[in-house]
Amino acid sequence: MSQHHDVSEHDHELLEEASHSHREAAHHFELAAKHHLLAAEADEKDDIATASHHAYLAYGHALHGKLFAEEAACEEIAADEDDEDHNHEEHTDHSHDQHGHSAKH
């Protein structure tokens, strides 16, 4: 995003949503990692039931993390596209000359 571009309310909402989605993705990936480590510990102790339980939970959190990561990426793309649309709008008001003076005096 250009530093000189004023962020519209819509852009701001998209960026807030993207930020939230990034945080949710990170949270779920952290939980997935935690459960994978617990599953590994249970496997080392030959505790199949506990290992399976943590593997299942890890898988679920990884899926949620992936969904939030995809959502964040889509929101970032939407904000970028919205920003590009604002930067390419042309000034169509021809009632002023090149110095900003109205044609009506």
Query: Using CA of residue 81, residue 86, residue 89, residue 92, what is the dihedral sign?
Result: positive
Against a cut of 0.75, is the pTM above it?
Answer: no
Instruction: Tell me how far apart the alpha carbons of residues 16 and 26 are, in angstroms, rounded to a whole number.
Output: 15
In a domain, 38, yes or no: yes
In a domain, 21, yes or no: no
Domain that holds residue 78: 28-85
In a domain, 46, yes or no: yes
In a domain, 4, yes or no: no
* Three-state DSSP state, 96: strand
In a domain, 12, yes or no: no
% of residues, the chain, pLDDT over 70: 64
Determine the average pLDDT of the residues in 63-83.
87
Domain count along the chain? 1
In a domain, 44, yes or no: yes
In a domain, 97, yes or no: no
Residue 72 CB contacts under 8 Å (≥ 6 apart), including other chains: 18, 21, 22, 25
Determine the average pLDDT of the residues in 83-105.
51
Q: Is the pLDDT confidence value at 70 over 90?
A: yes
In a domain, 47, yes or no: yes
